Each structure stands twice: as structure tokens, then as C-alpha cells.
Amino acid sequence: MPVALVVPVNGPDPLLVAELVERCEAGLARFKRPTSIEIVTDLPGGRSGPLRRPAVQAGISGSAAA
């Protein structure tokens, strides 16, 4: 299941999720659209900057289990 994690530049905005859903529906094939969009404060990165995918996936599965 594709899930979109979004870090807003100007803080959380309730209209942001609706706008993102609209843009995904307009610009992405159905199988590429995220099933959910989650607003987060930051993404886990390593010391040199790349995204730590296992930590992201653990966070997604952890929030789904909660």
C-alpha cells in the first residue's frame, strides 16, 4: 500500500491533505495513488542525510497498529 508522508514547510494545514488528494487524483494513475496521506514533523535521516527507510516503515506500521 502506498502511503505518502508529508512534512509541511509552513506547519500543519487541514486543507493541505485535501489539496494533495486532489492533485494525486488528477496526476497519478490509480495504482500509484497513496492510500493515505500522513502529516509528519520530520523524516528519519542518517548522519549523511539519506532517508532511513526501515525507520519510516516501522513508523508507518506502528501508527497503523495503534
Question: pLDDT tens across 17-52, in order?
Answer: 899 999 999 999 999 999 988 888 888 777 787 878
Q: Name which of 1-5, 32-36, 37-41, 58-62 the model is least confident about.
A: 58-62
Query: Are 14 and 21 within 8 A, CB to CB?
Result: no
Domain ranges of the chain: 3-65
Burial class (CB in 10 A: 0-12, 13-18, 19+), 54: exposed
Query: Are 44 and 7 within 8 A, CB to CB?
Result: no
Please list the residues that pair with 37 across neighbouring strands: 4
CATH assignment, 3-65: 3.30.300.30
Can you give the pTM of this predicted structure? 0.67
